[in-house]
Amino acid sequence: MTVMITGGSKCGKSSFAERIFDNIKSSKIYLATMKPYGEEAEKAIERHRILRAGKGFETIEKYTDISELTFDNMDSVLLECIGNLLANEMFRNEEIELCADKIADEIKQISTKVNNLVIVTNQVGSDGMDYQEGTELYISEMGKLNQKIASIADTVIECVYGIPVILKGEKPC
């Protein structure tokens, strides 16, 4: 099963994603993509650690090139989140790289290898603002990548203040 969860900032995506794992007995892997740089990032990471505590996740941190990881076919993976992963990949060198296709391919690969893959992403680009070029490219790559992930996912959910709105497939829990 491949599930994608989207929504705005702080809308309960992670808690809902973790709820899906409550019924999963096989090994649970939390694939964290956020770089622990700066006080705010560290705080966010700590908050998520506390949320996951006691739920039996093994945490793997991987900020780019997630296809380099190896998984067992019984693993259930929670990938969080696409927003960070895309930023890490796009802005890792001086020259901006458009990597929506690359990341979509990597996610597709992983989804065929593991038992369950739950992907947390987020919605950007609904504010009508004009940004500088790098940010504008990021918003367009996020849109493209989300569309690609949604097309391979069995279930797509938008979280609204913790309420799951099913956009595709069946409610997973």
Partner 1 sequence: MIMITGGAYQGKKAYAAERFGLSPEEMIDGTYCGYTELINAKCVYNYHEFIKKLLKNGEDAVQYTTELCDNNSGLIVIMDEIGSGIIPLDREERSWREVTGRCGCIIAERSDEVIRMICGIPEMIKGGKK
In angstroms, give the least distance from the CB of 20 to partner 1.
18
Residue 166 or 173: the one with the smaller Cβ distance to partner 1 is 166
In angstroms, give the least distance from the CB of 95 to partner 1.
21
Determine which residue in the list 43, 49, 168, 171 makes contact with partner 1, applying CB under 8 A.
Answer: 168
Determine which residue in the list 142, 155, 164, 172 makes contact with partner 1, applying CB under 8 A.
Answer: 142
Q: Is 91 exposed, middle or buried (0-12, 13-18, 19+ CB in 10 A)?
A: middle
Whole-number Å distance between alpha carbons of 108 and 123? 20
Contact string 2-21 vs partner 1 (x = CB under 8 A): --x-x-x-------------
Determine which residue in the list 26, 112, 135, 147 makes contact with partner 1, applying CB under 8 A.
Answer: 147
Interaction of residue 146 with partner 1, rule CB under 8 A:
yes
Contacting residues for 159 by C-beta, under 8 A, at least 6 apart: 5, 6, 7, 11, 12, 13, 16, 165
Whole-number Å distance between alpha carbons of 20 and 28? 11
